Amino acid sequence: MSKKQLRPIDAPFVALGPSGVAIRDRLKHLTTEDDKVLRLVGEHLGNLALLDLKARCADGNEHSTDTWAARKQGLTAASSSRWAGSITKATHDQWALSRRCQLAHIQSLEAGVRTLMHRLSQPVGEKGTKRAPGGYRSKGEWFQKTRRLHTLEHRLDRARADRDNGVVHVVRGGRRLLNTRHNLGKAQLTEAEWRRRWETERWFLAADGESGKRYGNETIRVTPEGEVSIKLPAPLAHHANTRHGRYVLASKIAFAHRGAEWADRITANRAVAYRIHLDVQRGRWYLTASWQRPAVKTIPLETARAKGMIGVDTNADHFAAYQLDRHGNPVGDPHRFFYDLSGTAQYRDAQIRHAITQVLHWAKRCGVAAIAIEDLDFTAEKTREKHGRKKRFRQLISKIPTGKLKGRLVSMAAEQGLSIVAVDPAYTSQWGAQHWQKPLAAPRRKMSRHDAAGIAIGRRALGHPIRRRTAPPQHHQSDGAGHRTVQADRDVRGREGTRPPVTERAHDSRARTETTRGTRATSASKTVRDARSAGTWVQDPLLITG
CB 237 within 8 A of CB 245: yes
Q: What is the DSSP string of 273-299?
A: EEEEEEETTTTEEEEEEEEE-PPP-PP
Q: What percent of the chain is predicted at pLDDT more than 90?
A: 56
Report the pLDDT averaged over residues 219-231.
Answer: 95
Q: Tell me the percentage of the chain whose pLDDT exceeds 70.
A: 79
Q: What is the pLDDT of residue 16?
A: 84
Q: Distance of alpha carbon 404 from its chain centroid, rounded?
A: 6
Mean pLDDT over 168-172 rounds to 92
Look at residue 445 in the predicted model and tell me its pLDDT.
87
What pLDDT, on the 0 to 100 scale, is given for residue 529?
A: 47
Could you tell me the sign of the dihedral formed by the alpha carbons of 426, 427, 429, 431, in that order? negative
pLDDT tens digits, one per residue of 357-412: 999 999 999 999 999 998 875 444 455 666 566 666 666 666 666 667 777 888 88
Dist CA 71 CA 63 (whole Å): 11
CB atoms near residue 425 (< 10 Å): 20
User: What is the pLDDT, as a whole number, of residue 122?
Assistant: 92
Q: Per-residue pLDDT tens for 123-164?
A: 998 888 777 788 888 999 999 999 999 999 999 999 999 999
Q: Fill in the DSSP letter of residue 467.
A: S
pLDDT at 307 over 60: yes
Distance CA 87, CA 474 (A): 75
**AA letter at 415:** E
For residue 354, the model assigns a pLDDT of 92
Q: What are the pLDDT digits (tens) for 498-517?
A: 444 444 444 444 444 444 44
CA atoms within 13 A on the CB side of 191: 1
Q: What value does the mean pLDDT take over residues 528-532?
A: 45
CA 59 to chain CA centroid, Å, is 34
The pLDDT tens digits of the residues spanning 456-499 come to: 999 999 999 988 765 555 666 655 555 444 444 455 454 444 44
Residue 226: how many other CB atoms lie within 10 Å: 15
Question: Is the CB of residue 217 less than 8 Å from the CB of residue 53?
Answer: no
Is the pLDDT at 539 greater than 60? The verdict is: no
Query: What would the CATH number be for the domain defined by 299-462?
Result: 3.30.420.140
Residue 504 CA, distance from chain mean position: 49
What Rg, from alpha-carbon coordinates, does the chain have?
34
- How far is 231 from 241, CA to CA, in rounded Å? 11
Domains of the chain: which residue ranges? Answer: 20-292, 299-462
Residues 311 and 304 sit within 8 Å (Cβ to Cβ) = no
Asked whether 331 and 324 are in contact (CB, 8 A), the reply is yes
Region of residue 533 (phi > 0: left; psi between -120 and 50: alpha; otherwise: beta): beta
Strand runs (DSSP E) across 382-478, as ranges? Answer: 419-423
Instruction: Please provide the average confidence, as pLDDT, over all residues in the chain.
Output: 83
Beta bridge partners of 421: 14, 372
Q: What is the pTM assigned to this prediction?
A: 0.73
Helix orientation angle between 345-366 and 402-415, rounded to the nearest 10 degrees:
40
Task: Classify residue 437 by its DSSP letter.
Answer: I
Q: For residues 324 and 307, is the Cβ–Cβ distance under 8 A?
A: no
**Overall residue count recorded for the chain in this entry:** 546
Angle formed by the axes of helices 32-59 and 81-121, nearest 10°? 50
> Residue 494 carries which side chain, given as an amino acid letter?
G
Per DSSP, the three-state class of 382 is: coil
